[in-house]
Structure 1
Amino acid sequence: MDKHNKLFIKGMVCNRCISLLNKELSRLGLQVQSITLGEVTLAENQPAINDTLLKTMLQENGFDLLRDKNELLTLQIKQLVEEGIKTQAETGTPVKFSKLISQGLNKSYDSLSTFFSYSAGVTLEKYIILRRIDKVKELLVYTDKTLTDIAYELGYSSIAHLSRQLKEVSGFNATHYKKIRKEKLAAAANNGDIAL
């Protein structure tokens, strides 16, 4: 086996996927060197991987191996979008996704955008909006951040722009997600669980 054996995994969408896959790969006797959304690097000197067991485990957990170069490119674009959103959330600095993606893959943004639309069935711009709104919903439900804080962190030009986009994409406004947070906190308090 190569010193850095990489597996490209389809269907990983969040940190829980990373945690689950790390546990399942360990259960198969594989040592994970690093794991990110869509990509696993196994430690050196691994025993031979039983492809059937690996594929079965992945499919049972809603994942699959990527072997096609077009699927891999789509995954790489999605990873760069996630990286951009994470950078915005951590630094509060707006990210120019077209520059991030084109530089990250060393290809023109226009060609990557056209490819992504064909491959993923949604425009790259729409995908970025959907992923940013998913992050907004997550922050509204699992943190006590205000819409103002979130708009700043995720690089929105204004709170009004974020509010419009949230309503347009999800069908709900920020108040709806804050209500979900209150309900979760109340349920956790009633059950003696640790608060969100």
Structure 2
Amino acid sequence: MPNKTIYVSDEDLPLFQRAQELAGGKLSTAISVALRRYVEMEEGRQEGYDEIIVKVGQGTGRKQRFSGVLLGEWGRTQGSRMEMFKVYRSRQGNYVLHVDRSPDWTDDTGTDNWIEGLFSRGAWRSYLGLADSNWGFVQGEATLEVVATVEELRGKVPDEFYDLIAGLGRQPAVEDLDI
């Protein structure tokens, strides 16, 4: 195996020492892992993809990361629930559906009449930035699903959103213009 010499500045030496500790004493392992991740993300960025990090699970949940491009997002309310749908195209060509659902949403305007609440003193203070908004999710749940074709999204997202995504899904992530 060929040897490579890497010159490290004095100020970066603690970083390299910590990387070597985390890699079980093998600095070459740490460097290879970091370079592999860098090359993968940089090639994706050059192809028009971003690093996407989404929350999944209940409450604060956990985070999942992938390389993709956002095709669209769609929000709706159903009763006292809010749902936010986001569809991405992954670098491998799959479609990634992220859905964030709230089991309930609240507004603390102090009235049961939503029109009256919309024009209440508290609501106007919130609109003008003079008070904190108290609209929010309560113990929401988010899911992530990967499908191979855009057709597999049918029935998993609102029909109008599916029609929009189906049209966008056939377009390239980046279109090179010769201008």
- TM-score interval, smaller chain: under 0.3
Give the structure-1-normalised TM-score.
0.22
Which protein has the bigger strand share?
2
Give the structure-2-normalised TM-score.
0.24
Point out which structure has higher relative CO (alpha carbons under 8 A, 6+ apart). Answer: 2
Which protein has the bigger helix share?
1
